[in-house]
A and B are shown apart, each in its own frame.
Chain A
């Protein structure tokens, strides 16, 4: 009998499913594909078949468990509370154990993204060549069709002239010169580092203006989401250990990226290999806070006391719930409290605020056709609000929503919530 170590860990979750099929209604992928293999129930059934020894990790099986955004909409609505995210991620990990990662991911995860310097250098190299890509609007680069690996004809934000890591200082003292109220470690995340450095500076400024000392450890690495959600637990654990080591002696670890905050928190959920590791991951989780919850729950900032930047005064805004905030961390009230409380903005709720934008990390690279359809539905919701601005708090969503707006020739602009305030 094969060693199904990673699958055994999630067997109890797979057993929860009672095959009612309700997940189909909530699954953004099923709504486009309408096949049983695209939905949680089908994937869960096949994983159980592997556990019973009736199914191998074939290429087709890999494609099926790959066809999931991990948006957790089905998990949120499942009457049997099946944690399908754990089942899918566990199955991917088992598959990587048995079949390896595949050349592209192996190179990307293990040689590039896991090594902060190498990652920076590779992206820098890409930056040198980005002038080859036609510009569509502002800083958006339009990827030509031949770059299939990055999606057919999609728009991505241009890489920044200077990455955040190149301009950030290791320590920022409170701006009022007084003794800091607390000391937090800022985790930047790849998208902020390479594409939205001004967002990182904005967050640091926001914190230091309010009496908080911010440290930005140089040794921080990629959060590991791309790796461990793809089943590369080995690299995922390395990233976890690197980040835990980098963020010592701080009261909190904060980030303005919804995916990063949930990934850092969830090391304890998906990755632990030993009891000791589990304990350390759990300790780490307690200190991690997403910017949205940190501002409202820890700093106790009163939204009405914040000032809206001049350029946004009088604008109508709507909020997009990143999956990694609303379902991975149950953060949904805090950003709404901020947006509703801010003077000078009009807030309108969109009808499908919690619908995944369709990004799903590498999902959108391999299934851009499906991503486009899902983001199209998101755009219908945005159109219905009549908003000028789409606000969210995850750079991953920002990339995909920006693409959606441009593809659908809509006038809206996409911002991180922190960018709206002084």
Chain B
């Protein structure tokens, strides 16, 4: 519990209406998009300016109160859960798009802008911000930057860190600093900007960001490719790329996911297929037509049963809607789902998929595979029930082995979700003790009192 005087101080900083303390409101800020972690804060504050964030941080730092920054609360690794209590600093009321600069292809935004709101605004100018985490309807830019979010578009366009030119940050002691800038190139001293990107809110609060934008490609096309063996689908991914075509997106769905999508929204997906790949190519009309032809040739050469080019945008939209529904299909079928986020070098996708299948049999748990095959970021999902101890135990073992296998294959234990709470017990398997020690020292340098989102990343 916080002292009443601190709540009064917070009310003075942000106004009474922007401080929540009722037990009901605190419960509503005890969770995020994960299913295994819950912890209530002592207070929730909604700053509306950088100065207010700074004043909150000064107060918290002086009193050594934990501060967990939070945007839309769509995190899938537990990063926005106030696991040590204290203050939830919620940025959802700082949601202004301050500037869209067509000349320089940049946008200046507050941290609480929701990705989809930015997309809608940019569409008017013929521009887009490529990082497209599946939580785009709720996720904020502050969160996307702090987690270095990615999504399907990453094959060709990369992840959030490639689209942030600069940020305004409030440090734990309340100092306001600018990192990076507004230019594409910038080698002035250490690249502190990129220490903040994917810092999961443990170093400071992002109060403003300068984003890099792209013009919307004039044309795009979708190809749905059918396989009788999911490992062959994995192979097609790198065969297409090594033959010189870089599609905008390459997404994978296995047989289980295909059938659940067909149950939810029948759209004529081949239910007996072992796996599907969805390719999207984008660019100039003539170029994408050539690329489409080439993809169809290559996948057929490497074992695809069928390759359907969507005849129009409506058909393409249908397939992509199915892909988006994929994760709902998974979550809707089990009480608890481990949404794995392992990522391997693309050439190892078939090996990882085979391992998932093997572990599914070994532990007798459903392991389904869907994900961003184009960048090696698979989302094997393990379906279980946290209230069934025996089943849950088998699921945990399967997950452990999947992660171990991904690391052995030269991959990482998280591609885009972050470590947060969910994956911290695996951190040591990936990083050497010296490396973890370096990270802790960096954290201590920014945050000597350990008040910024404490309890995250390492155990």
Show the binding face of A for B, using Cβ within 8 Å: 15-16, 18-26, 34-37, 42, 45-46, 49, 54-55, 58, 60-61, 64, 79-81
Specify the chain A residue showing the minimal Cβ separation from B325: A79
Asked if B116 and A18 sit within 8 Å, CB to CB, the answer is no
Q: Does B345 contact A (CB under 8 A)?
A: no
- Note all chain B residues with C-beta closer than 8 A to A36: 25, 28-29, 73
Instruction: From B2-10, B31-39, B99-107, B275-283, give the one contacting chain A.
Output: B31-39
Find A80's partner among B35, B139, B328 (CB 8 Å cutoff): B328
Asked if B20 and A35 sit within 8 Å, CB to CB, the answer is yes
The CA-CA distance from A23 to B72 in the complex, in Å, is 11
Contact flags B298-327 to A (C-beta < 8 A → 1, else 0): 000000000000000000000000001101
* 14 residue pairs from A and B, CB less than 8 Å apart: A16-B332, A18-B332, A19-B32, A19-B33, A20-B331, A21-B74, A22-B138, A24-B72, A26-B137, A35-B28, A60-B24, A79-B331, A80-B331, A80-B332
- Note all chain B residues with C-beta closer than 8 A to A42: 28
Q: Does B364 contact A (CB under 8 A)?
A: no
- Note all chain A residues with C-beta closer than 8 A to B24: 37, 46, 55, 58, 60-61, 64
Specify the chain B residue showing the minimal Cβ separation from A42: B28
- Note all chain A residues with C-beta closer than 8 A to B337: 18
The CA-CA distance from A145 to B17 in the complex, in Å, is 23
The CA-CA distance from A23 to B46 in the complex, in Å, is 20
Asked if A22 and B137 sit within 8 Å, CB to CB, the answer is yes
- Note all chain B residues with C-beta closer than 8 A to A23: 138
Q: Which of B23-75 contact A (CB under 8 A)?
A: 23-25, 27-29, 31-35, 46, 72-74
Asked if A21 and B138 sit within 8 Å, CB to CB, the answer is yes
Asked if A24 and B138 sit within 8 Å, CB to CB, the answer is yes
Distance in Å: Cβ of A77 to nearest Cβ of chain B: 8
Show the binding face of B for A, using Cβ within 8 Å: 20, 22-25, 27-29, 31-35, 46, 72-74, 90, 92-93, 95, 112, 114, 116, 135, 137-139, 264, 324-325, 327-328, 331-332, 335, 337
Specify the chain B residue showing the minimal Cβ separation from A25: B137
Asked if B92 and A34 sit within 8 Å, CB to CB, the answer is yes
Asked if B27 and A24 sit within 8 Å, CB to CB, the answer is no
- Note all chain A residues with C-beta closer than 8 A to B20: 35, 37
Asked if B28 and A45 sit within 8 Å, CB to CB, the answer is yes
Specify the chain B residue showing the minimal Cβ separation from A58: B24
The CA-CA distance from A192 to B173 in the complex, in Å, is 62
Given A36-B28, A79-B325, A80-B332, verify A20-B33 contact (CB < 8 Å): yes
The CA-CA distance from A61 to B25 in the complex, in Å, is 9
Find B27's partner among A15, A49, A81 (CB 8 Å cutoff): A49
Specify the chain B residue showing the minimal Cβ separation from A36: B28
Find B328's partner among A18, A24, A49, A55 (CB 8 Å cutoff): A18
- Note all chain B residues with C-beta closer than 8 A to A18: 33, 35, 328, 331-332, 337
The CA-CA distance from A34 to B116 in the complex, in Å, is 15
The CA-CA distance from A18 to B29 in the complex, in Å, is 15
The CA-CA distance from A23 to B28 in the complex, in Å, is 14
Asked if A24 and B137 sit within 8 Å, CB to CB, the answer is yes
Find B28's partner among A46, A79, A80 (CB 8 Å cutoff): A46
The CA-CA distance from A22 to B116 in the complex, in Å, is 11
The CA-CA distance from A16 to B264 in the complex, in Å, is 14
Asked if B28 and A21 sit within 8 Å, CB to CB, the answer is no
Distance in Å: Cβ of A284 to nearest Cβ of chain B: 30
Given A22-B138, A80-B328, verify A34-B28 contact (CB < 8 Å): no
- Note all chain A residues with C-beta closer than 8 A to B72: 21, 24
- Note all chain B residues with C-beta closer than 8 A to A22: 135, 137-138
- Note all chain B residues with C-beta closer than 8 A to A55: 24, 27
The CA-CA distance from A165 to B237 in the complex, in Å, is 70
Specify the chain B residue showing the minimal Cβ separation from A65: B24
Distance in Å: Cβ of B90 to nearest Cβ of chain A: 8
Distance in Å: Cβ of A381 to nearest Cβ of chain B: 14
- Note all chain B residues with C-beta closer than 8 A to A81: 264, 328, 332
- Note all chain B residues with C-beta closer than 8 A to A34: 46, 92-93, 95, 112
Asked if B27 and A46 sit within 8 Å, CB to CB, the answer is yes
Distance in Å: Cβ of A19 to nearest Cβ of chain B: 5
- Note all chain A residues with C-beta closer than 8 A to B116: 25
